[in-house]
Structure 1
Amino acid sequence: MSYKIIVDSCGELTEEMKASGHFETASLQIDVAGHHIIDDETFDQKKFLKLVAESPECPKSSCPSPERYMEGYHCEEDRVYAVTLSAELSGSYNSAVLGKELYHEEYGEKDIYVFNSRSASVGETLIAMKIRECEEKGMAFEKVVETVEAYIREQDTYFVLETLDILRKNGRLTGVKAVVATVLNIKPVMGATEAGTICQLGQARGIKKALVKLVDEVVKNLKNPKEKVLAISHCNCRKRAEYVCDMLKAKAQFKDVVILDTAGISSMYAADGGVIVVV
């Protein structure tokens, strides 16, 4: 059976994934400083970060329309999966589900399933990889869905950012009560709850200590690392990502490691210098 995996653009794709023919990106869009940016292969991170730094206003994002998802489902492949960023953080999941309903009304039955990642960025990347792994093993559609949903429940997301301003101003930190003392250079270590909301796991003074604490949090919760892919995304800070990677590899063996630069939406929320770890 043929298959396609649609990942909204908060999830980064590796070059190998892009070349495989199995993956498609559903682009979100960003408005900042009077510029309307499509989060696709034309996204210029350096230019975007400069616009954000110079703009007094917070950038805003919008998710793909249901019609965009419906178009993605309307293809020659027999089975289609969509992976979206957490439904608690974006309307992308609901849009993808509505697109599925519209497709069925317009074209009839087809095997389509929408995964709520309960994560973002490389969390979505790993889920898309897991779908392909299941498909390549020849699993039945229902078994793919069951296996990947179980995988999502076991997945953990962590991140350290230079600033939480954009997350806070866009209402993505609902329920996070800790006050970060920016004057004292306190950096929070953040994570995702089982529901896909953002929580604070700890904090440290300075980015380097915060990254060490992030690694400690990952290791504390890590189970069966030899069976897992370690995924790290970073916004314009490859050396930080490699620093985190080296610390984690010194403490555990992983099945594989993926390091990616953030695309548009992830760059918007991670901001310059942000690091995201998913395992």
Structure 2
Amino acid sequence: MGITLITDSTCDLSPAFLAERNILFAPLKVLFKDGEYIDKVDLTNTAFYEKMRSSETLPTTSQVNPNEFYEIFSEELQKGNQIIGVFLSSELSGTYNSAVVAKEMLNSDLIFLIDSRTASFSLGLMVMRLYDLIQEGNDAATIMAKKDDLVASAQLYGMLDTLDNLHKGGRLSAGATALGKMLNIKPIIEVQEGQVNVAHKARGSRKGIAWMIDQLENDYPMREIPDIAIANADAPELAETLKRELLMRFKIERIYDVEVGAVIGTHTGEGVVGIAYFK
């Protein structure tokens, strides 16, 4: 009996990357005024940021519904596979709860679900840790016994470049947005207890990158890191700067380069760079 790994599109690993490893994903949806788009299926990251740039209002996003999970799960069970599903934090989306409903509808003990309590490239890194455990020949019970440690140790830092999306989304006043722009404030967000918080406010990108690297060094004082995700939202040059800084300071076995996609990018805006790792 094989194990099928399933996640959702907010992991921000590319469909081609996932397909090469036979990892399935359930896409969330992004709604602009001109219509609904399926994340990673009929809306590329480049097209999304172009559309958002020209839109006066932010798009909205919608979760995966239980019926979609029911179909995915049913097909894999019919193949004789067990399922391990890991999804966007239940504090940020109803996607995980939709998966729970689908499991209950199927009444199957061959489906194992994980609330990642994180998002985006941190979820992507968790997906890859689970993938490695499956490839090593671990059974589902053994892998699920490790899930709490994975969830508890996941760390994400993302430096925002623009405050416009926070303002458009009603999370920041016009005055605070204007002041932040004037002072060149770059908020650095993290996900703690499943929710997004501001971890630090840097004056400029270089100081923001330095702060994130300092946090990483606090968690890895020996400067040897097994795996890390480096992400950007339509900011590849800044991501390369971050990568160079990391490689000068740390010995890293494996780096995953990730593009922040439409669902997460709706809330963070363009220009984000960040890192995800396990403490």
Q: Is the TM value for this pair above 0.5?
A: yes
Map of 1:209 onto structure 2: 207
Distance in 2 (CA, whole Å) between partners of 1:48 and 1:79 is: 34
Distance in 2 (CA, whole Å) between partners of 1:267 and 1:278 is: 16
User: Contact (CA 8 Å) 2:226, 2:252: kept in 1 or not?
Assistant: yes
- Write the letter of the residue equivalent to 1:269: H
Distance in 2 (CA, whole Å) between partners of 1:95 and 1:136 is: 27
Asked whether 1:269 is paired with 2:270, we answer no
Distance in 2 (CA, whole Å) between partners of 1:196 and 1:24 is: 23
Distance in 1 (CA, whole Å) between partners of 2:6 and 2:263 is: 16
Using the TM superposition, give the Cα deviation of residue 276 of structure 1 relative to its aligned residue in structure 2, in angstroms.
2.6
- Write the letter of the residue equivalent to 1:41: V
Select which of 244, 258, 264 maps to 2:242.
244
Alpha-carbon distance change, 273 to 133 in structure 1, aligned in 2, over 3 angstroms: same
Identity of aligned residues (%): 24
More divergent stretch after superposition (31-40 vs 152-161): 31-40
Map of 2:258 onto structure 1: 260
> Which digits, 9 at most, give the CA deviation of each residue in 1:161-204, with x for residues without a partner?
1124435655789xxx99972221111122111x1112222222
Distance in 1 (CA, whole Å) between partners of 2:54 and 2:222 is: 44
> Which digits, 9 at most, give the CA deviation of each residue in 1:38-72, with x for residues without a partner?
10233222332222122221211001101111111
Asked whether 1:19 is paired with 2:17, we answer no
Q: Secondary structure at the match of 2:11?
A: coil
Distance in 1 (CA, whole Å) between partners of 2:45 and 2:191 is: 25
What are the equivalent positions in structure 2 for 1:99-110 lying under 5 Å apart? 99-104=102-107, 109-110=108-109
Map of 1:124 onto structure 2: 123
Distance in 1 (CA, whole Å) between partners of 2:84 and 2:209 is: 34
What are the equivalent positions in structure 2 for 1:147-226 lying under 5 Å apart? 147-167=146-166, 170=169, 181-193=180-192, 195-222=193-220, 226=224
- Write the letter of the residue equivalent to 1:90: S
Distance in 2 (CA, whole Å) between partners of 1:180 and 1:72 is: 47
User: Contact (CA 8 Å) 1:231, 1:258: kept in 2 or not?
Assistant: yes
Distance in 1 (CA, whole Å) between partners of 2:147 and 2:101 is: 21
> Which digits, 9 at most, give the CA deviation of each residue in 1:196-231, with x for residues without a partner?
112222222222322222222222233676453110
What are the equivalent positions in structure 2 for 1:130-145 lying under 5 Å apart? 130-145=129-144
Q: Secondary structure at the match of 1:278?
A: strand
Using the TM superposition, give the Cα deviation of residue 8 of structure 1 relative to its aligned residue in structure 2, in angstroms.
0.7
Q: Secondary structure at the match of 1:153?
A: helix
Query: Which segments of 5 or more consecutive residues in structure 1 lack a partner in the other structure?
Result: none
Asked whether 1:231 is paired with 2:229, we answer yes
Q: Secondary structure at the match of 2:144?
A: helix
In the alignment of these two chains, the number of paired residues is 270
User: Contact (CA 8 Å) 1:28, 1:61: kept in 2 or not?
Assistant: yes
User: Contact (CA 8 Å) 1:60, 1:170: kept in 2 or not?
Assistant: no
Distance in 1 (CA, whole Å) between partners of 2:234 and 2:20 is: 24
Distance in 2 (CA, whole Å) between partners of 1:118 and 1:179 is: 32
Using the TM superposition, give the Cα deviation of residue 259 of structure 1 relative to its aligned residue in structure 2, in angstroms.
0.6
Map of 1:55 onto structure 2: 55
Using the TM superposition, give the Cα deviation of residue 30 of structure 1 relative to its aligned residue in structure 2, in angstroms.
0.7
Alpha-carbon distance change, 150 to 225 in structure 1, aligned in 2, over 3 angstroms: farther
Alpha-carbon distance change, 152 to 226 in structure 1, aligned in 2, over 3 angstroms: farther
Asked whether 1:88 is paired with 2:86, we answer no
CA RMSD after TM alignment: 2.5
Distance in 2 (CA, whole Å) between partners of 1:245 and 1:227 is: 13
Using the TM superposition, give the Cα deviation of residue 83 of structure 1 relative to its aligned residue in structure 2, in angstroms.
1.5
What TM-score do the two structures reach when normalised by structure 2? Answer: 0.87
What TM-score do the two structures reach when normalised by structure 1? Answer: 0.87
Query: Which segments of 5 or more consecutive residues in structure 2 lack a partner in the other structure?
Result: none
Alpha-carbon distance change, 225 to 127 in structure 1, aligned in 2, over 3 angstroms: farther
